[in-house]
Amino acid sequence: MKPRVDWVLFGASAGLIVAVCIPMALAPDRSSAIVGDVYTWIATHVGLLYQWMVLVSTAVLAVVALRKVGGRRLGGDDAEKEFSDVSWVSMLFCAGIGAGIMYWATIEWAFYLDQPPFGAEPGSAEAEEWAATYGIFHWGLSAWCLYCLPTVAIAYPYYQRKIPYLRLSTALTGLFGDDIANRPLGRIVDFIFIVALVGGTGTSLGLATPMLAACIAALFGIEQTIWLEYAVVLAAVLLFAYSVFRGLNKGIKILSDVNMTVAGAFALFVLFTGPTLFALKHGTNSLGLMVQDFIRLNTWTDPVLQTNFVEDWSIFYWAWWLAYGPYMGIFVTRISRGRTLRELILGMVGFGTFGCALFYITLGNTAMWMDLEGVVAARELVADGNADQAIAAVIGALDWQPLPLIAFILVTFIFVTTTYDSASYAIAASATRQLEVGQNPARWHRVFWAFALAVLPIALMFLGGLEAIKSSVLVVSLPLLAIGVAMIVSLFRSLRE
Ligand code: NM2
């Protein structure tokens, strides 16, 4: 049967994007004030729930991976793997990690060195150790558990009970029955998923665009204008629309393989041409610090000093990962036939954590070293709200120019592409009525979402500022907290059957 579009979901989602973006473009100042207020309210009042969600997800995954159920194979005992291990890991890494890592790995430490966690003195030795560590935590095991939980919750019923559609509501079939997707509740859940993903990806391109523009400006010695930023968005959209048009095997898989190779090579290049020993020492130290204080980092709510560090950073990150979670669930389910639940959990969380740490240890520590040695005034640029220029300055100060700048721009572009092509794929899959194992959503439909996904980042760029971008993530991921709880209950029910 040909995949048919679910016009209600399609229309509601596309309509909402337009309805949100028009006021943002017309009244940016007012919109950005409102969005900022909403962020503060949610972070202060319900931020704790995000932290709990992380803890619960980690515990649930540990139980599934360590117990006998972990040995169950997706698609049946003799199901064959569709993709090799290497392609599987690179596809899931590139889908879940986007240009965001190039942005934050390079610059996150600067925020923490000046406004450290745990009440440390800004710029102190303690602050420096945490600055090198906290980013790894925010992209580490706990974060990957927010990706992995929806994956297990969707993949298990999808393969085990052969649910004929691949949507977030698939994860709730254990609780509400197999026809949930066609009932209002299922429709609402899938709608929430699409909205969360549009908001989450908006943040990625919203951050990546000025960063890319700054690097391109540095490369060619030209000025960073708004037109340059538009050109960057346009190039990115054309690239990922083409990739999703080519489909899973030709577009997404090939780009992911290329991405992993080029990005990995870039990280190693930075490590060996930069302050190698400094990065390795800090990296080793950070890993130790993080493992030792793992519980502390996960449960630190800052009840006494109330520095807002948790609200400004951890909560923002958890919301961001949460917003991407169901999409990862859908996408990774699609590529995971033939793997056991244990392989899925350990592979996803393990390699994900490792991959992200690699960027923080190499790029982040190199940038911090450049600042401490007075090579680049990165912290000053960040404090003035010019993080994108700080990044361009750091990359521009690496050895062997212009090679690193070119490589950085290239890797970032591919990262943007591989995130957005799989995101367009997942949204199209959700807004398709029936999708059986191995089937793909219609081509025009996938390409439509590729273009639609670029609308919000452009509107966010009008609003300007990191705050607006961060806020949108928090707002859209809020309902996913409730869905997350239902998902866990549903998963345990399905596992018991
Ligand atoms: N997460 C991993 O640009 C990106 O890296 C997208 C961001 C959720 C923090 C993903």
How far does residue 99's CA lie from ligand 1's centre (Å)? 7
SS3 of the chain: helix, strand, coil, percent, to 5: 80, 0, 20
How far does residue 356's CA lie from ligand 1's centre (Å)? 10
How far does residue 78's CA lie from ligand 1's centre (Å)? 34
How far does residue 246's CA lie from ligand 1's centre (Å)? 24
Atom number, ligand 1, closest to the C-alpha of residue 203: 3
Instruction: Give the pLDDT score at 445.
Output: 85
For residue 446, what pLDDT band results from cuts at 50, 70 and 90?
Answer: confident
Protein residue with least CA distance to atom 8, ligand 1: 321
Instruction: Give the pLDDT score at 462.
Output: 67
**Of 335, 362, 363, nearest to 348 (Cα)?**
335
Instruction: Give the pLDDT score at 454.
Output: 81
How far does residue 313's CA lie from ligand 1's centre (Å)? 14
Angle ∠(447,450,453) on CA atoms, nearest 5: 150
CA–centroid distance for 189 within its chain? 20
Say if 447 falls within a structural domain.
yes
Instruction: Give the pLDDT score at 236.
Output: 86
Say if 185 falls within a structural domain.
yes
- pLDDT (tens digit per residue) in 155-175: 999 999 888 778 899 999 999
Instruction: Give dist(CA 35, CA 477) in Å, integer.
Output: 14
5-26: average pLDDT: 81
- pLDDT (tens digit per residue) in 366-383: 999 999 999 999 999 999
Atom number, ligand 1, closest to the C-alpha of residue 204: 3
Domain range for 58 is: 7-496
**Which one is predicted more confidently, 493 or 431?**
493
Contact by Cβ (8 Å): 148, 329: no
| Alpha-carbon distance values, 386 to 289, 357, 470 (Å) | 30, 24, 16
121-142: average pLDDT: 97
Say if 159 falls within a structural domain.
yes
Question: What CATH number does residue 424 fall under?
Answer: 1.20.1740
- pLDDT (tens digit per residue) in 304-360: 999 999 999 999 999 999 999 999 999 899 899 999 999 999 999 999 999 999 999
Protein residue with least CA distance to atom 1, ligand 1: 321
What number of other Cβ atoms are within 10 A of residue 79's Cβ?
16
Atom number, ligand 1, closest to the C-alpha of residue 97: 5
Q: Which residues of 105-136 are buried (b: 16+ CB within 10 A; e: fewer)?
A: bbbbbbbbbebbbbebeeeeeebbbbbbbbbb
Task: Characterise 308 by phi-psi region: left (phi > 0), alpha (psi -120 to 50), beta (else).
Answer: left
Say if 1 falls within a structural domain.
no
201 lines ligand 1 (CB under 6 A): no
What number of other Cβ atoms are within 10 A of residue 177's Cβ?
10
146 lines ligand 1 (CB under 6 A): no
**Of 273, 206, 189, nearest to 473 (Cα)?**
206
- pLDDT (tens digit per residue) in 23-66: 777 777 787 788 788 888 888 899 999 999 999 999 999 999 99
Instruction: Give dist(CA 145, CA 63) in Å, integer.
Output: 12
Task: Mention every residue, 6+ apart, whose C-beta is less than 8 A from residue 425.
Answer: 244, 248, 252, 331, 334, 440, 441, 446
pTM: 0.93
State yes or no: pLDDT of 1 exceeds 80. Answer: no
**Hey, what are 351's tokens?**
């390699």
Instruction: Give the pLDDT score at 90.
Output: 87
146-157: average pLDDT: 96
In the block, which residue shows the tokens 């993903």? 197
**Hey, what are 273's tokens?**
């041409």
How far does residue 200's CA lie from ligand 1's centre (Å)? 8
For residue 430, what pLDDT band results from cuts at 50, 70 and 90?
Answer: confident
Say if 449 falls within a structural domain.
yes
Say if 482 falls within a structural domain.
yes
Say if 2 falls within a structural domain.
no
Q: Which residues of 142-174 are buried (b: 16+ CB within 10 A; e: fewer)?
A: bbbbbbbbbbbbbbbbbbbeebbbbbbbbbbbb
Instruction: Give the pLDDT score at 422.
Output: 82
- pLDDT (tens digit per residue) in 247-288: 766 767 788 888 889 999 999 999 999 999 999 999 999 999
Protein residue with least CA distance to atom 2, ligand 1: 97
How far does residue 304's CA lie from ligand 1's centre (Å)? 30
95 lines ligand 1 (CB under 6 A): no
| Polymer length of the chain | 497
Q: What are phi and psi of 432, to 5 degrees?
A: -110, 140
DSSP-assigned beta bridge partners for residue 73:
340
State yes or no: pLDDT of 404 exceeds 90. Answer: yes
Atom number, ligand 1, closest to the C-alpha of residue 104: 5
123-133: average pLDDT: 97
419 lines ligand 1 (CB under 6 A): yes
Percent of the chain topping pLDDT 90: 57
Q: How many domains is the chain built from?
A: 1
